[in-house]
């Protein structure tokens, strides 16, 4: 056997070993998370505190936290969760561009479930012990430019993630939250194509109807072609929704440095697409002759808030005096 052939065989062997080691690491990390999740499910089943909606929201946030500590720290017991894990998770969320309000809500969720753990070894630090940004109302521009949106779509296509491109398109042109986009199943999509508006259940169980444009229609039609009846369009049947949500958020975080406009300091997130939709709809309503107050209320209804004042948070990119009108 020639030296060259032996060298090629050695290289192939090393490549196979590296691939197997990577698969083994992923399997181990998945097992850590599943172990923590099984313990959390016991807490969930026996808990009688709080409303059903609050408990559901807090449990989803807690599972995201457990996925993080399972992967990063290989934690095996809920009782071992400590302040260092919380601090690390806060830094992770801040780096991902989570808003101050989202971070604080998730921390409340983690503490809620931590209080249910029997024989917990540690008391978790309070928010005052961390450097948390104060929640800001209406003064942070989170919108995406047309160029940034188009570049992100190109990144999705390059990565062969047409599903991510579809989710981003729906958020951009219909203003849906990420969990609302991932909730879309074949029945919801077919009804949207028939009615020319999508009916979606948002926060607090509020149901709203949002008109769809041609871009949304195209991605829904394409997704329907690849989805069996009764299934969600953008969540594989063997994957949990919160995992699919985290993966898409991570994808955006990993690509945004390649798509941001030159000189921009905006931290682009999926939720920022909702800000883009809101600002665009507001300007359309103003152009149609509505007052500022009327335009803000109409945008708020499209966003699923029903409150004019909440719209101010989404209109930071429009330099106006929102105290007028």
Whether the model clears a pTM of 0.85, i.e. scores above it, the answer is: no
322 against 97, higher pLDDT: 97
| Mean pLDDT calculated for residue range 15-22 | 49
Q: What digits encode the pLDDT tens for the residues 60-92?
A: 999 999 999 998 888 889 999 999 999 889 888
Residue 166 above 50 pLDDT?
yes
Residue 28 above 90 pLDDT?
no
Residue 108 above 80 pLDDT?
yes
Q: Sorting pLDDT into bands at 50, 70 and 90, what band is 267?
A: confident
pLDDT at 38: 92
Residue 266 above 90 pLDDT?
no
223 against 142, higher pLDDT: 223
Residue 21 above 70 pLDDT?
no
Alpha-carbon gap, residue 184 to 235, rounded angstroms = 9
Give the end-to-end CA distance of the chain in Å, rounded to a whole number: 85
Which stretch of DSSP H or E encloses residue 207? strand 207-211
pLDDT above 70 covers a percentage of the chain that reads 82
pLDDT at 30: 61
Identity of the highest mean pLDDT range in 42-46, 47-51, 166-170, 315-319: 166-170
pLDDT at 10: 54
Residue 26 makes CB contacts below 8 A (sequence gap 6+) with: none
Q: What is the dihedral of CA 122, 105, 183, 42, to 10 degrees?
A: 30
pLDDT at 52: 72
């Amino acid at each position: 056997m020639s030296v060259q052939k032996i060298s090629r065989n050695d290289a192939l062997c090393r490549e196979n070993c590296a691939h197997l080691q990577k698969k083994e690491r992923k399997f181990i990390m998945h097992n850590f998370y599943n172990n923590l999740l099984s313990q959390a499910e016991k807490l969930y089943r026996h808990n009688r505190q709080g409303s059903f909606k609050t408990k559901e929201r807090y449990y989803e946030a807690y599972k995201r936290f457990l996925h993080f500590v399972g992967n990063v720290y290989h934690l095996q017991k809920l009782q071992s969760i400590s302040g260092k894990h919380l601090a690390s998770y806060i830094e992770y969320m801040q780096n991902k561009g989570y808003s101050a309000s989202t971070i604080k809500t998730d921390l409340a969720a983690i503490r809620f479930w931590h209080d249910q753990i029997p024989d917990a070894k540690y008391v978790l630090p309070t928010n005052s012990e961390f450097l948390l940004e104060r929640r800001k109302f209406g003064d942070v521009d989170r919108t995406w430019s047309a160029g940034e949106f188009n570049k992100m779509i190109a990144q999705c296509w390059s990565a062969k993630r047409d599903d991510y491109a579809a989710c981003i398109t729906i958020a951009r042109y219909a203003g849906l939250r990420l969990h609302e986009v991932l909730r879309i199943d074949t029945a919801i999509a077919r009804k949207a194509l028939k009615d020319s508006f999508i009916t979606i259940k948002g926060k607090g169980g509020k149901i709203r109807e949002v008109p769809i444009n041609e871009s949304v229609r195209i991605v829904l039609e394409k997704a329907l072609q690849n989805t069996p009846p009764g299934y969600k369009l953008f969540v594989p049947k063997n994957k949990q929704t919160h995992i699919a949500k985290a993966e898409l958020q991570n994808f955006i975080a990993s690509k945004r440095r390649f798509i941001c406009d030159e000189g921009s300091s905006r931290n682009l997130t999926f939720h920022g697409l909702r800000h883009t939709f809101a600002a665009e709809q507001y300007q359309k309503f103003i152009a149609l002759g509505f007052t500022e107050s009327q335009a803000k209320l109409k945008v708020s209804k499209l966003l699923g808030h029903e409150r004019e004042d909440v719209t101010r948070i989404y209109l930071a990119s429009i330099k106006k005096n929102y105290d007028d009108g």
